[in-house]
């Protein structure tokens, strides 16, 4: 079975609103494996690296301020097609365009307070995971439920 990893971050609004457990639960219920987890107060430098592609956007200063307004929860999930499916679980970037049943569709209204970040490709997931986690912080193990999830 081909497996991949994705980076999912619960942003300051998600942490402040007590949505950490419900968000993690959605990925676990789907069958994905949590391989790394930490709470952090990201530095401006880390956020500039993470959001490097957005630095020229007019909203970037506000994004930095918001992302430094409180702790975030950084996670790494592993499983078959987890990047694409993870984005589906999160819902559209604009919560008003997100389907009910998605995280953003159920828990968010404004784009600037959309609760989570999720990698948009395998390549960006690798980059984001390496920014937020040391290699030894990402665990390798086979969960007891593996054979009940995958053929």
Which CATH number characterizes residue 40's domain? Answer: 3.30.70.141
Binding residues for ATP: 11, 59, 87, 93, 104, 114
pLDDT at 75: 98
Tell me, yes or no, whether 43 lies in a domain: yes
**Which residue of the set 72, 115, 117, 133 is catalytic?**
117
Neighbours of 38 (CB within 10 A): 13
Q: Which residues does the annotation place in the binding site?
A: 11, 59, 87, 93, 104, 114
Rounded to whole angstroms, the maximal C-alpha distance in the chain is: 48
Residue 151 lies in a domain: no
Residue 150 inside a domain? The answer is no
When divided into structural domains, the chain yields a total of 1
Provide the whole-model pTM: 0.95
pLDDT for the residue 21: 98
pLDDT of res. 149: 94
pLDDT of residue 1: 58
Sheet containing strand 72-79, edge to edge, reads 33-40, 72-79, 4-10, 116-118
Residue 58 lies in a domain: yes
Asked about 50 being catalytic, the answer comes back as: no
- What's the token pair of residue 146? 């593996």
In a domain, 125, yes or no: yes
Range of the domain at 114: 5-142
Which of the residues in the chain have pLDDT under 70? 1-2
Q: Is residue 111 part of a domain?
A: yes
Pairing, β 116-118 against β 72-79: unpaired
Is residue 41 included in any domain, yes or no?
yes
């Amino acid at each position: 079975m081909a497996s991949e990893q994705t980076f999912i971050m619960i942003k300051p609004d998600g942490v402040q609103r007590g949505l950490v457990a419900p968000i993690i639960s959605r990925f676990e219920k789907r069958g994905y494996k949590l391989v790394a987890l930490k709470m952090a107060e990201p530095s401006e430098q880390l956020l500039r690296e993470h959001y490097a592609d957005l630095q020229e956007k007019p909203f970037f200063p506000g994004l930095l301020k918001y992302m430094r307004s409180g702790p975030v929860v950084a996670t790494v999930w592993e499983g078959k097609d987890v990047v694409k499916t993870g984005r589906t679980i999160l819902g559209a970037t604009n919560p008003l365009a997100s389907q009910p049943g998605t995280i953003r569709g159920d828990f968010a209204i404004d784009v600037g307070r959309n609760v989570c970040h999720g990698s948009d490709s395998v390549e960006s997931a690798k980059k984001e995971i390496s920014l937020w986690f040391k290699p030894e912080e990402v665990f390798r193990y086979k969960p007891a439920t593996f054979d009940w999830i995958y053929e």
